[in-house]
């Protein structure tokens, strides 16, 4: 479905971003990866799917590096057809104790980076009259949790940016939508489960039950592969008139 198209996925060397990148690659898209960590392993996973893969290590908190990332993608593959804004970080603290530098970093990476990639991707998408912008928000773009002020603010902002972008492209072949996951079983979340098990002196299974039981009625993690398949749908012809949606995949979290 996406043969001869290019997908750029930020924060895609592991977890949700890599899961989405692999799903798009299975549909034939060439992939531009971005992020830190096991870069070569991520590149190898994408290349094994039979598409071209490139990598750019832009720091998504720095507009100049984001501009270089977008220019790199255009040089490598012509233009970005599918833009997935996934890069994100987290910090937990009460508002009055929240470190200012952590607030600034979370807003920069989780929200402002999506503005910068979007503004730079849109001209070529408009010219081609086809493009897909998928913003990975969170259930925290729809509801809040205590001690996550910067993350919740940024993810609510991502949902708002999604709606505005969708309205501004509503009469074109470009769509913009957001995906709002609940708990996703990534290596980072697994570390939280392991830490909770150690702190409480309980099994990993019990720690998982406690974590999910606080928020997610389904008592199931969403997987990166499931999120990838939703991203594929949003790139397909059946979703051509899906615009400005914040699509939660959260096991019923926001339904409560």
Could you tell me the two tokens for 155? 């993810």
* Burial group, residue 141, by CB count within 10 angstroms (0-12, 13-18, 19+): buried
Could you tell me the two tokens for 49? 């799917």
Distance CA 228, CA 44 (A): 18
Distance CA 206, CA 238 (A): 40
Q: Report the chain's C-alpha Rg in angstroms.
A: 18
Those residues whose C-beta lies under 8 Å from the C-beta of residue 114, and which sit 6 or more positions away, are: 85, 135, 158, 161
What residues are annotated to the active site?
151
Of 148, 47, 141, give the one whose Cα is nearest residue 97: 148
Distance CA 206, CA 155 (A): 29
Phi, psi at 193, each rounded to 5°: -65, -45
């Amino acid at each position: 479905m996406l043969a001869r198209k290019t997908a750029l996925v930020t924060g895609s060397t592991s977890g949700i971003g890599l899961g989405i990148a692999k799903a798009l690659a299975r549909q034939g898209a060439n992939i531009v990866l971005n992020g830190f960590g096991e870069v070569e392993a991520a590149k190898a996973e994408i290349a094994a799917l039979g598409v071209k893969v490139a990598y750019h290590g832009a720091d998504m908190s720095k507009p100049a590096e984001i501009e270089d990332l977008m220019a790199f993608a255009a040089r490598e593959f012509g233009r970005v057809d599918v833009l997935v804004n996934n890069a994100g970080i987290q910090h937990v603290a009460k508002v009055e104790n929240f470190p200012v530098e952590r607030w600034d970093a979370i807003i920069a990476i989780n929200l402002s980076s999506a503005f910068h990639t979007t503004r730079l991707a849109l001209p070529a998408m408009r010219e081609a009259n086809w493009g897909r912008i998928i913003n990975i928000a969170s259930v925290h773009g729809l509801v809040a949790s205590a001690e996550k002020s910067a993350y919740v603010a940024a993810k609510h902002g991502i949902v708002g940016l999604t709606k505005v972008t969708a309205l501004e492209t509503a009469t074109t072949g470009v769509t913009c939508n957001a995906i709002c996951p609940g708990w996703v079983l990534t290596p980072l979340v697994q570390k939280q489960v392991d830490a909770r098990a150690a702190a409480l002196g309980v099994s990993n299974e019990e720690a998982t039950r406690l974590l999910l039981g606080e928020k997610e009625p389904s008592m199931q993690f969403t997987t990166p592969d499931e999120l990838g398949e939703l991203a594929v749908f949003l790139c397909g012809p059946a979703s051509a008139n899906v615009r400005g949606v914040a699509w939660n995949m959260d096991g019923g979290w926001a339904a409560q």
